Structure formats: C-alpha cells, structure tokens
Amino acid sequence: MNQQRVEVEIFGANYTIKSDENPEYTVDLAKFVDSKMRDITQHTDTVSTGKIAILAAIHIADELFKTKKNLEYKVERLLRKIDTKLKPLEGR
C-alpha cells in the first residue's frame, strides 16, 4: 500500500504520521485524540502530558470496548431473531 505522510497537531505538539488511510481520516483521528486530551485537562489537576495521554487512551479504550460489546449484543439479538424466523421454514 502507498503510505502517505500527514502532519497533525495533538495537544500542542506536531507529529508526522505515516498511514495508508485517507489523510483527512488521519487528521480526524488526531483531532479526536487532541479533543480527548483537552477534555481530560478540564477534569484533572494532572499537568503531565504523558499522564494525560494515558488517561485519554484509557477513555478511548473504554469507548471502544463498550461500543464493541454493544455491537456484539445487537448482532447476537439479530441472529436469534433470524433463527426464530427461519425455524418454521426448515420443516417445510
């Protein structure tokens, strides 16, 4: 794949990220991380950029895990509904 370099700013620091993704997508990811880090600074006395980054990563991982669990639950429910609808047709 063709990796592109994208310049982004996260929490006041500039980074060059190489990615196969669309540059706009990479910029959106960086903005999301920056937003999480800035949000954390509003709710904590921590001034260490490293600690703020770790807290942001924990918050992002929490969102990911909850979203994944919710999606798995919905897929499982949908599969059960499909199975319920198909069972009467199997006997034909």
Q: Based on the number of CB atoms within 10 Å of its own CB, is 19 exposed (0-12), middle (13-18) or buried (19 or more)?
A: middle
DSSP character at residue 11: T
Between residues 13 and 91, the one the model is more confident about: 13
Question: How far is Cα 36 from Cα 24, in angstroms, rounded to an integer?
Answer: 18
pLDDT higher than 70, residue 64:
yes
To the question of pTM greater than 0.75 for the whole model, the response is yes
What does the pLDDT look like over 3-49, one tens digit per residue?
A: 999 999 999 999 999 999 999 999 999 999 999 999 999 999 988 99
Question: How far is Cα 44 from Cα 9, in angstroms, rounded to an integer?
Answer: 22
What does the pLDDT look like over 65-90, one tens digit per residue?
A: 999 999 999 999 999 999 998 888 88
- Where do the structural domains in the chain lie, given as residue ranges? 4-90
